[in-house]
Structure 1
Amino acid sequence: MPEHIKARLAEEIKALEHELTTELPAEIKKAVALGDLSENAEYHMAKQRQVFVNARLGQLKKRMGELAMVNLANIPADRVGFGSTITVFDSSKDEEIIYKLVTSEESDVTKGLISTTSPIGRALLGKFVGDTAVVVTPNGKRELEILKLATIHDVVPEDKTLPEVTKE
């Protein structure tokens, strides 16, 4: 799993834990000192933030656990999987598009970085060169024919000219 994602999540966890254990208790203490808690906006805002930070910490820790369980050796070398760079022909747009399947934290559609959990990502997973993936979008169905494929196990040149993996 990309180490920069784990590092970014760990950094956010550390910052939120600091806020939860140091900053928020100080804010709550100051707000309590102001008196009447029933109409104390500072107190209510600090308590709401505390609930949010706790929930976000839970999400991040769960995601870190999920990422730790990913074994890159189990990703297929002959079909689309996490880390694959895929050149597809989109018949609805009549153009070739290059996508790379990444984690949800890395996804950026404008750069062609598609999450494995997105509709396009899910439709492409497990497909071979020559297969057609049908994606249902709000604008209707899109058919994506896989023209070229480079998996996470292949070395992808910087010029985005991808080696072709054929279906056997």
Structure 2
Amino acid sequence: MAKISYYTEEGLNRLKAELNEMKTRGRTEIARQIAEARDKGDLSENAEYDAAKDAQGLHEMKISKLEEILSNARILDESSIDTSLVAVLSTVKIKNRKNGAEMSYTLVSEEEADLKTGRISVGSPIGKGLLGKKVGEMAEIKIPAGVVEFEVLEISRS
């Protein structure tokens, strides 16, 4: 059974644009590379041709994966998010109980995650550990460096 993922409208549009780019420019570029390599002679000993065909296979696999993701994508109605609990598209301000550091993250789908902009995946260890928590609750989260305890300070809509 396919896994349904929830996206912001912006994130879904970005995925659709990426798929369109791959189907148009990406395929055209690979076809050009194959034609160029084919023009160089004997295909049985043509490493460029083999590499271009491999690239074509990988490109088509990426297109297929993106099409599958989009077929199971849904836009999440942000107005329906309960801000009393941490959920997808919630912005959560948390405090590390050990060192007192405060940080703020927005929980998003895996494809929209970008740590530089404070967007973490609901499938990440921190994302999973925060889901369903309320303000004031503690979340013990196992990360590669060990177990970290976070206090949920604030929950808002992104």
Q: Is 1:86 aligned with 2:92? A: yes
Quick one: which amino acid aligns to residue 31 of structure 1? A
Q: Does the 8 A contact of 2:34 with 2:49 survive in 1? A: yes
Report the CA distance between 1:108 and its aligned residue. 2.6
Identity %: 34
Q: Which moved more, 1:16-25 or 1:31-40?
A: 16-25
| 2:134 match | 128
Q: Which moved more, 1:18-27 or 1:80-89?
A: 18-27
Query: Map of 1:127-166 to 2, 5 A cutoff?
Result: 127-151=133-157
Indicate the structure whose relative CO is greater, using CA pairs within 8 Å and at least 6 residues apart: 2
Report the CA distance between 1:20 and its aligned residue. 5.7
Quick one: which amino acid aligns to residue 71 of structure 2? G
- CA distance 1:107–1:70, change in 2 (3 Å): same
Q: Is 1:11 aligned with 2:17? A: yes
Q: Does the 8 A contact of 2:90 with 2:157 survive in 1? A: yes
2:73 match: secondary structure: helix
Q: Is 1:36 aligned with 2:32? A: no
Structure 2: which 5+ residue stretches go unaligned? 1-6
Report the CA distance between 1:131 and its aligned residue. 1.5
Deviation per residue, 1:68-95 (Å, 9 max, x gap): 3756576444210011111212112222
Quick one: which amino acid aligns to residue 87 of structure 2? G
Relative to the length of structure 1, the TM-score reads 0.78
- CA distance 1:29–1:110, change in 2 (3 Å): closer
- CA distance 1:23–1:114, change in 2 (3 Å): closer
| 2:4 match | none
Q: Does the 8 A contact of 1:79 with 1:151 survive in 2? A: no
- CA distance 1:21–1:148, change in 2 (3 Å): closer
- Give the Cα separation in 1 of the matches to 2:26 and 2:109: 27
Q: Is 1:64 aligned with 2:57? A: no
Relative to the length of structure 2, the TM-score reads 0.82
Report the CA distance between 1:29 and its aligned residue. 2.9
2:110 match: secondary structure: coil
Q: Is 1:112 aligned with 2:126? A: no
Structure 1: which 5+ residue stretches go unaligned? 153-168
Aligned length: 152
- CA distance 1:115–1:21, change in 2 (3 Å): closer
| 2:29 match | 23
Report the CA distance between 1:121 and its aligned residue. 0.4
Give me the CA root mean square deviation.
2.2
